[in-house]
C-alpha cells in the first residue's frame, strides 16, 4: 500500500514519512514503500539530505510480529537498513514515541538521530525469544560500546531519550518536535553552517577497544540465566562477532542466528503470549461503547486485598476512600496501604514524591454513605455471601447513578450479588490477584445483567492500572483459579500415589515454573484453600477422590511460610524452605490410612499429568462459555499463575504436545478417576475437524 509511505521534497531536502498506524510496525508494505521512496531520494540529484519521520503516535515500534513464521517478503528489513546505512547522502532519523526493535535498527542505519522529548528507545527482541535481526547486534555495540549494547539487548528494557543521549545512541534531544529539529539541522547543513555525516563516515571514525569489548562479552556469558532460552546466548555471540568478523560476515552471522531463533518453539510461544495479551484486551463487541469516567473510587474492606487494590487505584491517580467497619479496622487498613507504599519506595519502584502524591488522594471512612460520590466502588470484604449481598444492597441505595459496583469475590456467585441491588446492570466482578498492587492479571467478570458500558469500564480501568484484563463468565473460581485448582488436584493425586511434594515441585520447576505447586501453597498459605474446602465440603460428591494430605498439614499447624512450616520447613528467617522428613512421614501415614500402596512416579509423568489437567480444565471453561477463547486462558495463566511464558500457556502447550495425544492420556487417566479426568467435549470436536486450540483464537 503506497500510502503507508509519503515523500516530499523542498530545497534539497527529501522528507520520507512512515504512516502505518497504530505503531508503524515495519510490515512488508511499509518496507516496500520505504525502499522505493528512499531509492528515489538517493538517486534524485536535487536531493542532498534525507529525513525519515513517522506520522502518528510513534516511530516504528518494531518489525511486524504477525509476519514472523510466515515466508519473508522482500525487501527484508536488514536490506532496507543496509541501503540507508550505505547512503552517500546524509540521513537524519527524526524519532518520537517508542523507538523499539526493528524501529531502533532502522534509526541506527541513519547517520544522525534526533529524538523528541519523551521518546523511549529499546531492543525488546529478547522478550520475543529472538534477537535484533536487522543489524542491531552489529551497529549498536559499534556505536555505544559492547557493554551498554549488551545491557540493552539482554534486558530488552527501553531507556529514556536523555539516557540514550548520554550513551551516544542519539545525537540530540529536540526542544519541540523531532521532525522540525531535523528540518532545521538539514537547512543549516545546506547553508554550510552544520556538519551532517553519513553513517559510513561516522563508522569510519570509530575505533573499538577490543579488550573492553571481549571482557563485556565474557561477563555477559558468565551471567547467562535459563539455558533453555537460546536468544540471550545468541545475542552475545553476535556482539562478539561484531568485533571479530569482517562487517559483512558479522551481518550474515546475525541473520543466521535470527532465522534460527524465529523458528524455535520458545520464540513461537513468546510471540503467542505477546499477541494473546493484546487480543485479551480487545473486545470487539464493545467497539464504540464508551467507558464510564472514573475519578473517585471507594474500596470496601481494608484487608490485604482491599489495601492492594487501593494502592493500584492510587497509582493511576484515582482518589480512594477506604471503608472499614470501625476505626480500629480502618486504621489497620490504612496502615496496610502505607506499608505497601513503603516497600515500593524501599525497592525503588515508587519515588517518595509519588508516594506523597498518592497519599494526598486517600481518605478513610467507617460508613458506606461516604461513597455516595464515588464513580467506582470495589467491594473486598471477606468471602461471606450474606455479608457481600448486604454490602451490595446498601451500595445499590447509596451509590450515585451510573457508579460501577465491583465485587472481588471469586466464590460467591456474581449474579446473586447483583440481584441484591436494584441495579444489576452496574455490577461487575473485578477479580484481582494477590498482591493486587503488583500482579498483572485482572479478570473482568461479566454477570448476566452487566451493562456493556460497565464491561468497557472494567477493561479501560485495567489498562489504566497497567494490568492485563481477561474476560470471564460467572463460575466458581473463574479462569485462573479453576485451572490452578485442577493442577493442584492432579498433583495431590500423585502425592497420595507415591510422589513426594519435593519431586513434584522439582518436576514443575524443570517444566519452567519459577516454583512448584507446594512451594506456591507454602507461599500463599495453606489455610486459604483449607477454608474453602471446608466451606464446600457439604457440596462435595462423596464418590470423587479426595486427598486429605493438605488438611492433615493444616491440622498440624503447618500453614506455610508464615507459620514457619508447611510442605517445607522454614528455619528462623529463611524464606527458602528445606525438605522435612516429618512431612514425608505424615504423607506416608495418610497413604496407609487410605490403603494406598505407594508407587514410583517419575518427573515426566508429573509434567504430563499437570499439563493434561490444566489444559482439560481450560477446555471445560471453553465448553461452558466461561472463557472467550483459548488464548485468554493462556493469558490468565501467564499473567496470574506464573505459567512459563516461553511455553505460551497451557492451551498453546497442549497444541504443541498434540491434541490427540493429550485426549488419549485424559481417557487413560479417567479410568482411575472418571469425574476429574473425563475429557471436555471440545477435544473431540477439534480433533474430528483437524483443528487446534489456536484455530479458535482467530
Ligand atoms: N507488530 C505488530 N503489531 C504490533 C506491534 C508489532 N511489533 N507492536 C504493537 N502492535 C499492535 C498491537 O498488537 C496492538 O494491536 P491491536 O490494536 O490490534 O490490538 C496495537 O499495535 C497497539 O499495541 P498496544 O496495545 O501494545 O499499545 P500500547 O500503546 O500499550 O504499547 C508499544 C505500544 C509499546 C509499542 C507496544 O505495543 C510494544 O511493546 N510493541 C512491541 C514492540 C516490540 O516487541 N518490537 C520488536 C519487534 S521484533 C523486531 O523488531 C525484530 C527485528 O529485530 C527484526
**What confidence tens digit (pLDDT) does each residue in 686-696 have?**
999 999 999 99
Cβ neighbors of 263 (< 8 A, separation 6 or more) are 69
Q: 301 near 324, Cβ under 8 Å?
A: yes
Of 22, 21, 614, 633, nearest to 276 by C-alpha is 633
| Domain covering 5-263 in this structure, CATH number | 3.90.226.10
pLDDT of 252 = 98
655 lines ligand 1 (CB under 6 A): no
Averaged over 89-106, what is the pLDDT?
A: 98
- CA-CA distance, 511 to 491, in Å (whole number)? 14
Give Dmax (Cα) for the chain. Answer: 93
Averaged over 594-603, what is the pLDDT?
A: 96
Averaged over 560-579, what is the pLDDT?
A: 91
Distance 130 CA to ligand 1 centre (A): 15
635 lines ligand 1 (CB under 6 A): no
138 lines ligand 1 (CB under 6 A): no
Question: Cell numbers of 489, please?
Answer: 488436584
- CA-CA distance, 180 to 292, in Å (whole number)? 38
Averaged over 61-89, what is the pLDDT?
A: 95
Is the pLDDT reported for residue 263 higher than 60?
A: yes
First to last CA, the chain: 24
> Which residue from 30, 61, 464 has its CB within 8 A of the most atoms of ligand 1, so it is best to mutate?
61
30 lines ligand 1 (CB under 6 A): no
Chain centroid, CA 343 distance in Å: 22
pLDDT tens digits, one per residue of 151-162:
999 999 999 999
- CA-CA distance, 231 to 131, in Å (whole number)? 6
- CA-CA distance, 467 to 568, in Å (whole number)? 32
pLDDT of 219 = 97
Distance 24 CA to ligand 1 centre (A): 9
111 lines ligand 1 (CB under 6 A): no
Distance 468 CA to ligand 1 centre (A): 15
User: One fold for both 5-263 and 294-476?
Assistant: no
Tell me whether residue 266 is one of the annotated catalytic residues. no
Averaged over 626-652, what is the pLDDT?
A: 97
Averaged over 111-130, what is the pLDDT?
A: 98
* β-sheet bridge partners, residue 299: 322, 378
Averaged over 630-654, what is the pLDDT?
A: 97
Is the pLDDT reported for residue 254 higher than 80?
A: yes
Strands (E) in 433-567, as ranges, are 441-445, 468-472
Count of Cβ atoms closer than 10 Å to residue 22 Cβ: 9
pLDDT of 527 = 93
Q: For the chain, what are the domain ranges?
A: 5-263, 294-476, 481-697
Closest residue CA from atom 36 of ligand 1: 61
Distance 279 CA to ligand 1 centre (A): 12
Burial of 24 (0-12, 13-18, 19+ CB in 10 A): buried
pLDDT of 536 = 81
Distance 61 CA to ligand 1 centre (A): 6
Fold (CATH) for 481-697: 1.10.1040
Closest residue CA from atom 9 of ligand 1: 23
Is the pLDDT reported for residue 499 higher than 70?
A: yes
78 lines ligand 1 (CB under 6 A): no
Ligand 1 atom closest to residue 57's alpha carbon, by position in its atom list: 29
**Is this model's pTM higher than 0.95 or not?**
no
pLDDT band at 228 (very low <50, low <70, confident <90, very high): confident
Residue of 46, 67, 79, 125 marked catalytic: 125
Ligand 1 atom closest to residue 134's alpha carbon, by position in its atom list: 54
26 lines ligand 1 (CB under 6 A): no
Considering only 45-54, 201-210, 269-278, 486-495, which range has the smallest mean pLDDT?
201-210
User: CATH says 294-476 is which class?
Assistant: alpha beta
Closest residue CA from atom 53 of ligand 1: 132
Is the pLDDT reported for residue 566 higher than 80?
A: yes
Distance 144 CA to ligand 1 centre (A): 25
Share of the chain above pLDDT 90, in %: 93
Chain centroid, CA 425 distance in Å: 30
Cβ neighbors of 310 (< 8 A, separation 6 or more) are 299, 302, 320, 322, 337, 362
362 lines ligand 1 (CB under 6 A): no
Is the pLDDT reported for residue 2 higher than 80?
A: no
Tell me whether residue 105 is one of the annotated catalytic residues. yes
pLDDT of 535 = 83
Averaged over 535-543, what is the pLDDT?
A: 84
pLDDT band at 615 (very low <50, low <70, confident <90, very high): very high
Count Cα atoms within 13 angstroms, Cβ side, for 237: 15
- CA-CA distance, 523 to 484, in Å (whole number)? 15
Closest residue CA from atom 2 of ligand 1: 64
25 lines ligand 1 (CB under 6 A): yes
pLDDT of 541 = 86
Of 661, 399, 685, nearest to 669 by C-alpha is 661
Is the pLDDT reported for residue 1 higher than 80?
A: no
pLDDT of 226 = 80
Burial of 668 (0-12, 13-18, 19+ CB in 10 A): exposed
57 lines ligand 1 (CB under 6 A): no
Is the pLDDT reported for residue 604 higher than 60?
A: yes
131 lines ligand 1 (CB under 6 A): no
The chain-wide mean pLDDT, for the chain, equals 96
Considering only 80-94, 385-399, 526-540, which range has the smallest mean pLDDT?
526-540
Share of the chain above pLDDT 70, in %: 100
Residue of 67, 105, 379, 605 marked catalytic: 105
Q: 616 near 257, Cβ under 8 Å?
A: no
Range among 58-72, 82-96, 521-535 with highest mean pLDDT value: 82-96
Question: Cell numbers of 660, please?
Answer: 490427540
Cβ neighbors of 667 (< 8 A, separation 6 or more) are 677, 679
Q: 511 near 613, Cβ under 8 Å?
A: no
pLDDT tens digits, one per residue of 387-421:
999 999 999 999 999 999 999 998 899 999 999 99
Distance 62 CA to ligand 1 centre (A): 7
pLDDT tens digits, one per residue of 296-346:
999 999 999 999 999 999 999 999 999 999 999 999 999 999 999 999 999
Helix (H, G, I), strand (E, B) or coil at 430: strand
- CA-CA distance, 115 to 130, in Å (whole number)? 26
Count of Cβ atoms closer than 10 Å to residue 237 Cβ: 17
pLDDT of 384 = 87
Question: For residues 564-589, b (16+ Cβ closer than 10 Å) or e, as one string?
Answer: bbbbbbbeeeeeebeebeebeebbee
**CA geometry: angle at 506 spanning 503 and 508, to 5°?**
110
pLDDT of 47 = 98
547 lines ligand 1 (CB under 6 A): no
Distance 281 CA to ligand 1 centre (A): 13
Averaged over 10-27, what is the pLDDT?
A: 97
Angle, helices 603-623 vs 630-640, to 10°: value is 130
Averaged over 132-143, what is the pLDDT?
A: 97
Amino acid at each position: 500500500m503506497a500510502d503507508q509511505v509519503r515523500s516530499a521534497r523542498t530545497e534539497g531536502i527529501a522528507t520520507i514519512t512512515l504512516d502505518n498506524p497504530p505503531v508503524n510496525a515495519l510490515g512488508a508494505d511499509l518496507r516496500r514503500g520505504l525502499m522505493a521512496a528512499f531509492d528515489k531520494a538517493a538517486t534524485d540529484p536535487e536531493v542532498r539530505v534525507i529525513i525519515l519521520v513517522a506520522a502518528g503516535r510513534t516511530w516504528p515500534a518494531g518489525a511486524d510480529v504477525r509476519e514472523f513464521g510466515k515466508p519473508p517478503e522482500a525487501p527484508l528489513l536488514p536490506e532496507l537498513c543496509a541501503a540507508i546505512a550505505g547512503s552517500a547522502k546524509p540521513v537524519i532519523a527524526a524519532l518520537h514515541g517508542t523507538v523499539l526493535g526493528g524501529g531502533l535498527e532502522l534509526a541506527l542505519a541513519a547517520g544522525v538521530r534526533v529524538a523528541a522529548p519523551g521518546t523511549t528507545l529499546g531492543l525488546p527482541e529478547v522478550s520475543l525469544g529472538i534477537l535484533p535481526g536487522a543489524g542491531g547486534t552489529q551497529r549498536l555495540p559499534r556505536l555505544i560500546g559492547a557493554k551498554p549494547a549488551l545491557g540493552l539487548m539482554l534486558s530488552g528494557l527501553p531507556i529514556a531519550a536523555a539516557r540514550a543521549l548520554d550513551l551516544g545512541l542519539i545525537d540530540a534531544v529536540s526542544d519541540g518536535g523531532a521532525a522540525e529539529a531535523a528540518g532545521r539541522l538539514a537547512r543549516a547543513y545546506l547553508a554550510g553552517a552544520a556538519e551532517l555525516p553519513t553513517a559510513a563516515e561516522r563508522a569510519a571514525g570509530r575505533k573499538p577497544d577490543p579488550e573492553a569489548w571481549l571482557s563485556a562479552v565474557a561477563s555477559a556469558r558468565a551471567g547467562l540465566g535459563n539455558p533453555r532460552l537460546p536468544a540471550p546466548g545468541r545475542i552475545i555471540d553476535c556482539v562478539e562477532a561484531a568485533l571479530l568478523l569482517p562487517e559483512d560476515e558479522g551481518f550474515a552471522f546475525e541473520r543466521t542466528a535470527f532465522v534460527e531463533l524465529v523458528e524455535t518453539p520458545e520464540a513461537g510461544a513468546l510471540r503467542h503470549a505477546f499477541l494473546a495479551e493484546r487480543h485479551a484486551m480487545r473486545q470487539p463487541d464493545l467497539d464504540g461503547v464508551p467507558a464510564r469516567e472514573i475519578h473517585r473510587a471507594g474500596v470496601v474492606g481494608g484487608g490485604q486485598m482491599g489495601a492492594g487494590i487501593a494502592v493500584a487505584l492510587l497509582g493511576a491517580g484515582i482518589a480512594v476512600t477506604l471503608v472499614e467497619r470501625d476505626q480500629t479496622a480502618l486504621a489497620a487498613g490504612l496502615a496496610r496501604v502505607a506499608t505497601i507504599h513503603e516497600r515500593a519506595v524501599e525497592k525503588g519502584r515508587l519515588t517518595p514524591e509519588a508516594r506523597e502524591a498518592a497519599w494526598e488522594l486517600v481518605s478513610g471512612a467507617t460508613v458506606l454513605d461516604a461513597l455516595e460520590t464515588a464513580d467506582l466502588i470495589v467491594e473486598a470484604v471477606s468471602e461471606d455471601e450474606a455479608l457481600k449481598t448486604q454490602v451490595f444492597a446498601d451500595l445499590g441505595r447509596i451509590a450515585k447513578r451510573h457508579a460501577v459496583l465491583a465485587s472481588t469475590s471469586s466464590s460467591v456467585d456474581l449474579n446473586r450479588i447483583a440481584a441484591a441491588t436494584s441495579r444489576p446492570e452496574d455490577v461487575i466482578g473485578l477479580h484481582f490477584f494477590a498482591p493486587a498492587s503488583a500482579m498483572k492479571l485482572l479478570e473482568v467478570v461479566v454477570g448476566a445483567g452487566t451493562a456493556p458500558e460497565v464491561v468497557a469500564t472494567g477493561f479501560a480501568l485495567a489498562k489504566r492500572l497497567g494490568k492485563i484484563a481477561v474476560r470471564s463468565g460467572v463460575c466458581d473460581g473463574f479462569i485462573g483459579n479453576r485451572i490452578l485448582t485442577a493442577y493442584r488436584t492432579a498433583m495431590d493425586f500423585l502425592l497420595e500415589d507415591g510422589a513426594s511434594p519435593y519431586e513434584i515441585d522439582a518436576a514443575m520447576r524443570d517444566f519452567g515454573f519459577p516454583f512448584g505447586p507446594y512451594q506456591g501453597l507454602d507461599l500463599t498459605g495453606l489455610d486459604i484453600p483449607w477454608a474453602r474446602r471446608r466451606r464446600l465440603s457439604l457440596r462435595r460428591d462423596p464418590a470423587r477422590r479426595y486427598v486429605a494430605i493438605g488438611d492433615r498439614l493444616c491440622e498440624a499447624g503447618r500453614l506455610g511460610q508464615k507459620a514457619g512450616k508447611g510442605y517445607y520447613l522454614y528455619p528462623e528467617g529463611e524464606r527458602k524452605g528445606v525438605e522435612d522428613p516429618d512431612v514425608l512421614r505424615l504423607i506416608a501415614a495418610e497413604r496407609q490410612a487410605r490403603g494406598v500402596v505407594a508407587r514410583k512416579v517419575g518427573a515426566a509423568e508429573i509434567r504430563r499429568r499437570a499439563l493434561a489437567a490444566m489444559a482439560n480444565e481450560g477446555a471445560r471453561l471453553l465448553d461452558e462459555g466461561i472463557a472467550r477463547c483459548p488464548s485468554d486462558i493462556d493469558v490468565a495463566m501467564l499473567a496470574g499463575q506464573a505459567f512459563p511464558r516461553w511455553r505460551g500457556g497451557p492451551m498453546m502447550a497442549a497444541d504443541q504436545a498434540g491434541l490427540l495425544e493429550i485426549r488419549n492420556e485424559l481417557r487413560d487417566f479417567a479410568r482411575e478417576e472418571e469425574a476429574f479426568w473425563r475429557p471436555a467435549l471440545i477435544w473431540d470436536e477439534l480433533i474430528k475437524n483437524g483443528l487446534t486450540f489456536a484455530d479458535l483464537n482467530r
